[in-house]
Structure 1
Amino acid sequence: MLNLERLRTLDALARHGSVSGAAAALHITTSAVSQQLAKLEREAGQRLLAKHGRGVRLTDAGRLLAEHATRILSQVELAQADLEAQRGQVAGELRISAFPTAARGLFPLALAALREEHPALRVRSRELEPEQGIAGVVRGDLDLAVVLDWYNKPMPLPDGLVKAPVLDDPADVALPAGHRLAGRDEIDLAELAEDEWITWGEGEFCHEWLMFTLRSRGVEPVIGHRAAESHTQLALVSAGLGVCIAPVLGRHPVPDGVVTVPLKQRVVRHIFVVWRADADRRPSIRAAVHGLQEAGRKAG
């Protein structure tokens, strides 16, 4: 009997072309990918992988099984969607993630409304950064993920995902109250060329966006501090340790000692929800998307 999770690992390898690519997409270690594929080879009774330079390639048997794996995984998702649609009820379990400010700004309202309107639906939520949420949806650990684009830098989405808008979230710059520009009505990013920035973690999508945006304005950023959570960033601003980008969603209350000022070049995050196309007919998916959009309208 072929194991479904091992077929999912093979599918990821076929899609991404390498063990490291599959590991990143599935958010597991390369060692775990190799172990899953070795077990799948034993189950299949044939070699599925061959060495290719420093990496691996699929054998003929591996490509054949990968093609079947794609169809099998799609059929499993369709079966679940059809069962829910046939029942016609918003019921069962729904697993959803959001990055921290969206979880704080959207989940309380959206999930409370879902519980009241659909008592047979059990929602399980967690905070994950956008890339992790997308990976969770791709590998089937999550049903939905709330993620984001920046106005000038889209978030890449793998094939097979569907998305719907939730809200557009404007962002200001947060300054210490004693900052030389704190009394301004608006600020150009270029005026902050000499300031230290408080940003997200190295390699995170939002950090890469900030670097790209500042450099496009002729600013080579000086990074003073890194923090994943926006309220931690604002606390560092309050202590006079730098400036940061402060989106509106989930921002309040702003700490004492922090002033937020609009930017001349309008900075907006496009917040949206993603799910697998194969799950599109599930009533629970449609109900959750609607609930998030309603919460987004109220938050906006």
Structure 2
Amino acid sequence: MEQVSGTFTMDLRRLSALRELDRRGSLAKTAEAMHLTPSAVSQQLTALARELGVPLIERKGRGVRLTGQARVVLQHADVIAAQLERARAELAAWGEGRRGTLTIGGFSSAISGLLPAALKGLSETHPDIDIAVVESEPPDLFTSLDAGDIDIAVAVDFAAAPPFTDRRYVRTPLLTDILDIALPAGHRLADLPQVPLRELAADPWIVGDARSCCGAVTRSVCAAGGFTPEIRHAVNDWQSLAALVEAGAGVALVPRLVQPLHRPGVTLRAPEGDAPVRHVFAAVRTGAENDPVLTATLAHLTAAARHATTSAGHPTGTPTSTHNNFPPLPNS
């Protein structure tokens, strides 16, 4: 391969393929995320390597790995992406942000618990902004954010989400969502003001998919309580989960973000000790944080989170212990 030229160029689409390979770890997963074939991704990376005059990938068994030169390129790729976002934000600011389009991606309990109030407020202050909402969770949520398919990602901090230090994104903390224990009416522990989580180790559990934020959080909370739950029912839909709990099919952890309404037949109790929580945040691409449309939307999301925190009883200290109402819950 030729030595690095002082006049080399980089195709931004090919650079995106390199960033996605770094995130996904394999050509197959990168191709799936970018809706391409592995061969097409390989061709893009080969062309980028040719443009730069340095090797970017090397064979490792049946797969590939990034070279040291690729790591150098990626450091600059993050800066380039952020600078492009700043340019886009400045152009948007030139128009004062009174008009625009916006796509918000998020997990479904955030869509049901936060977005209605946020979008209502935004429609009153910025009626000429067209907004679309899509349901998604990490890692696909952030692949869509990277690709520009969405503008704001609303997510929960868990293993599949990017680390807090990921410089590709600017985060806005929204709320700390407390999880309560959902018990069938008449459960042996239903009369306790707080339920020792360990006492439910032998109960059948109703838990979401391990790849979903709530499924992952439930497994983590039970592990911290000293046991692995017997997952009798794998359910991602909150309405179905509530129906199964009500029928006595098992117990579950339910976030307060999806507890605004009443459903008979289910008792909610706070776990004994420190409350299990999930941290909800919004993220935008680094460089886009000054876009006036995004700034306004994030302000309304923050206000909606503040309202949800108050109305759903998210305290700053110990959770209340007698939540007896259960909503007709939305999807996970």
Whether TM-score is above 0.5 comes out as yes
* 1:104 shift after superposition: 0.3
Identify the residue that residue 162 of structure 1 maps to in structure 2.
170
Identify the residue that residue 270 of structure 1 maps to in structure 2.
279
* 1:298 shift after superposition: 1.4
CA contact (8 A) 1:174 1:259 kept: yes
CA offsets, 1:113-151, max 9 Å, x none? Answer: 11221122111111112433233223332211111237x
SS at match of 1:281: coil
Whole-angstrom CA distance in 2 between matches of 1:33 and 1:78 = 31
Identify the residue that residue 91 of structure 1 maps to in structure 2.
99
Q: Kindly report which structure 2 residues correspond to 1:136-147, keeping only aligned pairs within 5 A, or say none.
A: 136-147=144-155
Identify the residue that residue 260 of structure 1 maps to in structure 2.
268
Q: Please report the RMSD computed on the Cα atoms of aligned residues, expressed in angstroms.
A: 3.0
Equivalent residue for 1:194, pick from 197, 202, 205: 202
Distance 1:231 1:119, change over 3 A: same
* 1:43 shift after superposition: 7.5
Q: Kindly report which structure 2 residues correspond to 1:43-58, keeping only aligned pairs within 5 A, or say none.
A: 49-58=57-66
Unaligned 5+ segments in structure 1 are: none
Equivalent residue for 2:130, pick from 122, 147, 150: 122
Whole-angstrom CA distance in 2 between matches of 1:110 and 1:286 = 12
Matched, 1:181 2:181: no
* 1:90 shift after superposition: 3.8
Moved more, 200-209 or 108-117: 200-209
Moved more, 287-296 or 67-76: 67-76
Equivalent residue for 1:244, pick from 252, 258, 270: 252
Matched, 1:27 2:33: yes
Matched, 1:295 2:300: no
More helix by share: 1
Whole-angstrom CA distance in 2 between matches of 1:269 and 1:251 = 15
Matched, 1:111 2:111: no
Equivalent residue for 1:79, pick from 84, 87, 92: 87
Whole-angstrom CA distance in 2 between matches of 1:189 and 1:60 = 47
Moved more, 55-64 or 207-216: 55-64
2:203 is aligned with what amino acid? D
TM-score by length of 2: 0.78
Matched, 1:41 2:46: yes
How many residues are aligned here?
A: 295
SS at match of 1:27: helix
CA contact (8 A) 1:149 1:270 kept: yes
TM-score by length of 1: 0.85
1:41 is aligned with what amino acid? T
CA contact (8 A) 1:164 1:273 kept: yes
Identify the residue that residue 295 of structure 2 maps to in structure 1.
286
Whole-angstrom CA distance in 2 between matches of 1:66 and 1:263 = 44
* 1:243 shift after superposition: 0.6
CA offsets, 1:147-171, max 9 Å, x none? Answer: 1237xx8954333211112122222
CA contact (8 A) 1:197 1:225 kept: yes
Moved more, 95-104 or 39-48: 39-48
CA contact (8 A) 1:84 1:90 kept: no
